[in-house]
Amino acid sequence: MKFRWLLTGMSGIVMLLYLAGPTLAASDRLSEQTLECLKCHDAMPGIVQQWENSAHWNAGVGCFECHQAQVGEPDAMDHYGFTVAIIVSPQDCAQCHPREAAEQEASHHAKAGDILNTKDGILGQTVGGESAVAVGCRQCHGSLVKVNKDGTLDASTWPNTGIGRVNPDGSKGACSACHTRHRFSKEQARQPETCGKCHLGPEHPQKEVYEESKHGILYRAFKDELNMDRPKWVAGEDYYDAPTCATCHMSAARGQEITHDVGDRLSWDLRAPVSQRTGDYERKLEKMQDVCSSCHGQSFVEGFYSQLSEFVLLYNEKFAVPAREIRSLLMKEGVISKADFDDRIDWIYWELWHHEGRRARHGAAMSGPDYAWWHGIYEVAKHFYTELLPETEEACEKAGRPELYEQIIAKFIDGRPEHEWYTKGFDPKRLDAMKTYYRERYQQDVQ
């Protein structure tokens, strides 16, 4: 009996020491200010426990070190005798992570909020509504955070972890968009689900494309073997079964260090109405191909990029450039207005490049065949031939300018081999050959 009570007592003491471990250790490594914060903020145990499992806790970086502010700063507020700010901005993070903050500031991510001043903004704020923008667009692209007189943040612009958030101190971005607070975990930021908060949907379905690709299939099969908690996490050394979004766009490879500039390896702009090679194309291409070579042979890598370039040029030359020029000409001639989204052709053109065209190009760039074709170029072609051109003809007729449509067809469609099926119909010989091929291959007639 005494022995049982002794064991029970010892177990209780061990358990108490275990539970008190972080607190006892904290007194040795944490500042007096942070320890003072914990006296109240233990009422939010989830946040505190996340932080106690972080690299920040191990390094002695606590609440006060991140949230401290100087009197006179736009969002500085008195908080029980401490001067603090709610937002921890990239400028704050730069105190310990200067290189990462500088790379992020130079990246396209930091400029994500600029999109709210474009046609996307018109759609959200005018066609949709302000509250839709607050919980939709700005949660990915970022808000212009407004500060109340007492230093608290305006609820119309906060909470927000948009990647291009404009912070009260003037910095752009939110490190916690990828390194979710309060663990700020590298491991979590390396997983594709993190990027999937924003990079999904009808106009930029990178997450869905990744999931259907061989890369995504391998990730799901071997996720537990990818060693995402490794400090450097070098492709081909720390792991080899599958890449994630971070592998290709940010993480270290054998020939290069990690970068927080997500565009540093992008040789094509696949977002724009018409794709162009990005600045410093050769260097960026070489950096991305270096990542690819962690797992693939040189001929494989070169062949892949050859197919991608041919696909992008097909999209540009056959559909994107003619569609853009046709709409511009209709505006110039006064057939449609110069405003956006007040003519049906505006909507057709918008979805052709902004939705279907982006899906196609990202499908090709990320090895997603269904998005390259059925969700991509097929939709582009269908809407180009069955909506944009017929709507152009109807708009010209309503404006009393039928001859303008004939001029458009003559300039952009006639005489171009890629459009002959539309102007002349399928070549009977080619159609017969196709029927023969499918009959022999699948033992059935083409309908």
pLDDT digits (tens, 9 = 90+) for 358-416: 999 999 999 999 999 999 999 999 999 999 999 999 999 999 999 999 999 999 999 99
Is the predicted pLDDT of residue 446 greater than 70, yes or no? Answer: no
pLDDT by residue (tens digit) across 51-98? 999 999 999 999 999 999 999 999 999 999 999 999 999 999 999 999
Hey, what amino acid is at 418?
E
Give the span between the Cα atoms of 236 and 293, in whole angstroms. Answer: 9
Cβ atoms of 131 and 49 within 8 Å: the answer is: no
Percent of the chain with pLDDT over 90: 85
pLDDT at residue 9 greater than cutoff 60: no
Instruction: Answer whether 99's CB lies under 8 Å from 121's CB.
Output: no
Tell me the pairing of strands 77-79 and 82-84.
Answer: antiparallel
Q: What is the pLDDT of residue 188?
A: 96
366 burial class (0-12, 13-18, 19+ CB within 10 angstroms)?
buried
Is the confidence at residue 14, as pLDDT, over 80? no
Q: How far apart are CA 222 and CA 42, in angstroms?
A: 37
pLDDT digits (tens, 9 = 90+) for 226-243: 999 999 999 999 999 999
- Please determine, for residue 20, whether its predicted confidence score (pLDDT) is greater than 50: no
Per-residue model confidence (pLDDT) at position 10: 38
Q: How far apart are CA 425 and CA 36, in angstroms?
A: 79
Beta-carbon count within 10 A of 369 CB: 13
Predicted pLDDT at 250: 97
Q: How far apart are CA 256 and CA 37, in angstroms?
A: 40
Q: Which tens digits make up the pLDDT trace of 278-322?
A: 999 999 999 999 999 999 999 999 999 999 999 999 999 999 999
| Mean pLDDT score of the chain | 92
Look at residue 45 in the predicted model and tell me its pLDDT: 94
CB 363 within 8 A of CB 213: no
Say if CB 232 and CB 258 are below 8 A apart.
yes
Question: Other CB atoms closer than 10 Å to residue 428's CB: what's the count?
Answer: 8
Q: State mean pLDDT over 95-117.
A: 95
DSSP letter for 278, please: P
Confidence check: pLDDT of 181 > 90: yes
- Could you identify the residue written with the tokens 């603090």? 84
At 233, list the tokens. Answer: 């996490």
Q: What is the mean pLDDT of residues 131-147?
A: 96
